[in-house]
Amino acid sequence: MLNLETPKKFKPIIHQAHQIGAEMFRPISRKYDRAEHTKPVELDMLASLMDGMNASGGEGAGAGKLKQDAGGDSGVRNGANMTAVLGMTELCWGDVGLALSIPRQGLGNAAIAAVANEEQLKRFNGRWVAMAITEPHAGSDSAAIRASAERDGDDYILNGEKIYVTAGERADALVVWASLDRSKGRAAIKAFLVEKDRPGLTLERLEHKLGIRASDTAAFRLENCRVPAENLLGSPEIDTSKGFGGVMQTFDNTRPIVAAMAVGLTRAAIEETRRILADAGVHIDYRRPRTHGHAAAAKLMECEADWEAARLLTLRAAWMADNGQPNALEASMCKAKAGRTAVDTALACVELCGSVGYGEDELIEKWARDAKILDIFEGTQQIQLLIVARRLLGKTSSELR
């Protein structure tokens, strides 16, 4: 059974991440929102500190070492997944774009940690790896990927386009999803580690975005890009009986991380709005029914309830991963709930704070812009709800589209 009390061993991690969010991220948040595509150099020292903690066996606040720990008879575990969720929540309470810009702590690194073998883990240790999945013709439906990978001796030759690659320009390598044989459908899609200096890999452009402007978002083209066979993540065999499960395992670990980002941003918006409303003379009395107080207070209480539900779903998904329990359903549930809650709450806070919330003197308007991506990347809201429906109804992807 899930114990909702935060284990003592996580309290230093939470404190550490909160201090980073408050003292490092918040002061430079607006600076890098305005200076889009400018690398936040302040994060280099932070990344080095986190690397040092990981190398010494300590646990930092980032998402660099996600792994599904084995369950068995060893008792309840709270491991790397819970660490990453709790730490990322506090970092994104500070700033989502800056959290995504910490070197070597991104979702590509989490993907490697989730499915890479020991040799790959050792070879890519210390590298910043971005995730390259989305294509011009394959956004929400990852199974529609057109990028191809053809075996040629000891190598694979990759061709295709990848867009919306978070941290693509700054990263050292990419996790590229490509199909070994499109005629065999989802089962043929594999993930490849592609170093940025590989001939045939070209950075096409950087995107101008609504939010998370501190984080660069890139588009790439692969033209006869030759990658060693040992850079394939997982098995090279195409097993149609297992379908898409192999590469999709990555999302079971990373979707709770994105949900944690949304939980952190939502809490930031709620706390700041509560302060602004209090300055205006609107106080929340939790002892009275919502209908007996100020309408603005009632709305904020509604947002708090949604936030708590999203937080608990996220903790559950991370706890299941740490304890070796299949969490694909729970990962999609927490991602769907937290992403939508972040968007709805941030926009509600803008409205509740009026001109103060809409102006650039406060960070609330920025959080409203940042929130939308959390409802989109790592699987859109609609896709998450579709996955949840399939799991609950026992339907396949062909039966329920």
Tokens of 208: 């101008």
Whether the Cβ atoms of residue 192 and residue 232 lie closer than 8 Å to each other:
yes
Whether the Cβ atoms of residue 132 and residue 175 lie closer than 8 Å to each other:
yes
Cβ density class 92-122: b for 16+ within 10 Å, e for less: bbbbbbbbbbbbbbbbbbbbbbbbbeeebee
Number of other CB atoms surrounding residue 366 within 10 Å: 22
Number of other CB atoms surrounding residue 183 within 10 Å: 6
Tell me whether residue 207 is one of the annotated catalytic residues.
no
User: How big is the CA angle at 357 (ends 355 and 358), to the nearest 5 degrees?
Assistant: 65
Whether the Cβ atoms of residue 279 and residue 221 lie closer than 8 Å to each other:
no
Q: Which amino acid is at 85?
A: V
Whether the Cβ atoms of residue 59 and residue 315 lie closer than 8 Å to each other:
no
Q: Classify strands 155-166 and 148-152 as parallel, antiparallel or unpaired.
A: antiparallel
Instruction: Compute the CA torsion angle 300, 301, 305, 306 (nearest 10 deg).
Output: -20
Whether the Cβ atoms of residue 64 and residue 113 lie closer than 8 Å to each other:
yes
Which residue in the list 59, 135, 161, 378 is annotated as catalytic? 378
Rounded to the nearest angstrom, the gap between the alpha carbon of residue 108 and the centroid of all alpha carbons in its chain is: 10
Q: Which of 375, 324, 248, 379 is nearest to 73 (CA)?
A: 324
Residue 82 sits at φ, ψ, to 5 deg, of: -65, -40
- Which residues pair with residue 130 across a beta bridge? 174
Instruction: Compute the CA torsion angle 137, 142, 144, 148 (nearest 10 deg).
Output: 90
- CA 214, CA 95: separation in Å to the nearest integer? 9
Residue 226 sits at φ, ψ, to 5 deg, of: -90, 125
Tokens of 33: 């929102």
| Residues belonging to the active site | 378
